[in-house]
Amino acid sequence: MTPVPFQAEHVQALALRGHGDLNSASYELFRITDAPAARGWLGAIADRVSYLETEKQDKREASPARRKTRLQVALTAQGMAELGLKAHLATFPIEFQLGMAARAHALGDERDEIQSWDYGSGNKPIHVMLLLFAGTDEEVAAFARAEIEEAERRGLTHFATQTTLRYESKDRIFEHFGFRDGLVQPSIDLEGHSVRADDGTPGPDPSHKVPLGEVVLGQLNAYKYRTIGPSVPNSLDARGFLPDFLSSGRKDLGAHGTYLVLRKLEQDVAGFWLAIDRAAESLGVDPEWLAAKMVGRWKNGSAVVNHPNEPGPPPVKDTPGISFASDRHGFRCPVGAHIRRSNPRDDLGDDVGKSLELVGRHRLIRRGRVYGPRLADSRKDDGKKRGLVFITVGASIRRQFEFVQNLWVTNTTFRGLNGEDDPVVGPRCPAFFGAGKSTHAEQTSPFSLQAHPVQSVVPALPRFVTMRGGDYFFLPSVPALRFIAAL
């Protein structure tokens, strides 16, 4: 139960901050071709990586007009093996060892589609990812060119770039279906550092915070235990980069690190809104109203549970939190709505405090950004690819991301529903529905709109979001990067 003494300068900043003040980002993917050279490169990266204390110094010392760039580095299990830690991967969680493609059964990803992923599949493995941030697209592109050139001189091969769409303001972020995004982030309990509070999650108690150990390995988590990370024998750490592990004779490789999940999710914008139009016409309702009921928010971000019939004021920092406890039957916000599935808040049982406590053990700390151009007419497909680069960080891939994806988002019996997955992002996985279908394209999901005395149902929503690539990553601490470099 004793945590590792916390040192902010050891934590890669992305673990606790999304670099929202830098509007452009690019994710560069590499494979290792020369392990000794790549370890030397990683040692140099450790000197340039953005860590938590750097963020604090930037805000204190840099002028508002000054442009900054920031760099983060993440490794897959295959990358760790290539760098010389294959014999020690067993100390990592099994889901990280296997990688995302092998966890399709838990995520709703169709195995037949994995080989066509843009990256992260068996024939397109990722070893290393650089996450680059800058103020403009031109700056991030120049930053990426320099980093790619350096990496390719030092034992890595660059094979893919995941660009993102620059946004004008971190307070006005919209995903491609047209809904305001990035509203809710957990408030991390990190005394002495300003960690952005969310817009009201987790409900009626705005003082509720997620313990640091839910994000950073080696710290106390929501169970009040030290979050256990990977370890290595003392003999490997001859230079003493790593702190002691819980058991004697071992060093804590995970301390001050975290895990990162990346999923490239392509959105069928025109398909979404045309399906909404058809369903709304059959029900005799307004398409914007039906879409808001499916999402759980209006386009401007106001919550359906608080404004069930028309949009309310756009949420601001001091907007009261969302509570579902007074809408247990879903008459205002349907129980299967996207935001209600992804974060049930105070709606798991009759005890509000217990529900918040339970949900707090499965929170997602999101760091994603959209990619692809905006669609000029939301009902007319232009043939271009667009979607969300979903990124979340946390101390447990299984208990946080996989739990939410499996038990809430894709669960076809969530909150007593029958044969329904998430109406917006649900994968419509045939294996989950058990309908004997062979492909996602053939599978649909109903969506229930609870009401008294009679509820209505949208009978057959197709898939709107398609998985196009991704993997599980380890975001090492700065000392851990230096340790790997010195192997």
pLDDT, residue 107, reads 95
The pLDDT of 386-401, averaged and rounded, is 97
Residue 203's pLDDT band (cuts 50, 70, 90): very low
What is the distance between the alpha carbons of residues 229 and 212, in angstroms, rounded to a whole number? Answer: 14
**pLDDT tens profile 126-150:** 999 999 999 999 999 999 999 999 9
Higher pLDDT, 317 or 338: 338
pLDDT for 431 equals 62
Q: Is the pLDDT of residue 422 over 90?
A: yes
- Residue 475 pLDDT more than 90? yes
What band does 6 get if pLDDT is binned at 50, 70 and 90?
very high
Predicted local distance difference test score (pLDDT) of residue 58: 58
The least confident of 35-39, 170-174, 234-238, 477-481 is 170-174
Distance between CA atoms of residues 327 and 334, nearest Å:
9
- Buried-exposed string 260-281: b where 16+ CB fall within 10 A, e elsewhere: bbbbbbbbbbbebbbbbeebbe
Mean pLDDT computed over 32-37? 98
Instruction: pLDDT band for 161, please (50, 70, 90 cuts).
Output: very high
Torsion angle of alpha carbons 97, 469, 173, 206, nearest 10°? -30
- % of the chain surpassing 90 pLDDT: 76
Each residue of 61-88: pLDDT tens digit?
454 444 589 999 999 999 999 999 999 9
The three-state secondary structure class of 308 is coil
Cα distances from 398 to residues 120, 206, 355, 401, 434, in angstroms, run: 18, 26, 20, 6, 24
pLDDT over 90 at 265, yes or no: yes
The region of weakest confidence among 264-273, 343-352, 416-425 is 343-352
- Is the link from the previous residue into 206 a cis peptide, with omega within 30 of 0? no
Q: How confident is the model at residue 168, as a pLDDT?
A: 78
More confident residue, 320 or 218: 218
Grade residue 195 by pLDDT with cuts at 50, 70 and 90.
low
> Where is average pLDDT lowest: 9-13, 203-207, 218-222?
203-207
11 burial class (0-12, 13-18, 19+ CB within 10 angstroms)? buried
- Nearest Cα to 29, choosing from 153, 142, 116, 157? 157
Say how far residue 129 (Cα) sits from the centre of its chain.
15
What count of Cα atoms within 13 Å lies in the side-chain half-sphere of residue 165?
17
Range of weakest confidence among 100-114, 148-162, 312-326? 312-326
- From residue 416, give the alpha-carbon distance in Å to each of 110, 293, 363, 419: 25, 18, 22, 10
In the chain, the percentage of residues whose pLDDT exceeds 70 is 91
Sequence spans of domains, the chain: 8-177+228-260+473-485, 264-469
Backbone angles phi, psi at 410, to 5 degrees: -95, -5
Closest CA to 339 of 299, 375, 293: 293
Confidence tier at 439 by pLDDT (50, 70, 90) = low
Task: Give residue 56's pLDDT.
Answer: 60
By three-state DSSP, how is residue 310 classified?
coil
Q: Which has the higher per-residue pLDDT, 58 or 149?
A: 149
* Stretch 315-324: mean pLDDT: 83
Q: Which two tokens stand for residue 208?
A: 């509720």
Higher pLDDT, 191 or 67: 191
Q: Give the model's pLDDT for residue 66.
A: 43
Closest by Cα among 76, 57, 79, 75 to 66 = 57
Please tell me the predicted confidence (pLDDT) of residue 199: 38
* Residue 265 or residue 247, greater confidence: 265
Mean pLDDT of 448-458: 94
pLDDT tens-place string over residues 233-250: 999 999 999 999 999 999
pLDDT band for position 319 (cuts 50, 70, 90): confident
pLDDT at 187: 79
- pLDDT, mean over the chain: 90
Q: How far is CA 297 from CA 15, 90, 144, 294, 314, in A?
A: 27, 42, 36, 8, 10
- Which pLDDT score is estimated for 350? 86
**pLDDT-derived band of residue 209, with 50, 70 and 90 as boundaries?**
confident
- Give the mean model confidence (pLDDT) for residues 308-316: 93
Q: Write down the pLDDT at residue 437.
A: 54
Q: Residue 197 pLDDT > 50, yes or no?
A: no
**Separation of alpha carbons 39 and 35, rounded Å:** 6
What pLDDT does 57 receive?
56
Question: Which amino acid does the sequence have at 88?
Answer: H
**Could you give the 3-state DSSP secondary structure of residue 427?**
coil
Rounded to two decimals, what is the model's pTM?
A: 0.94
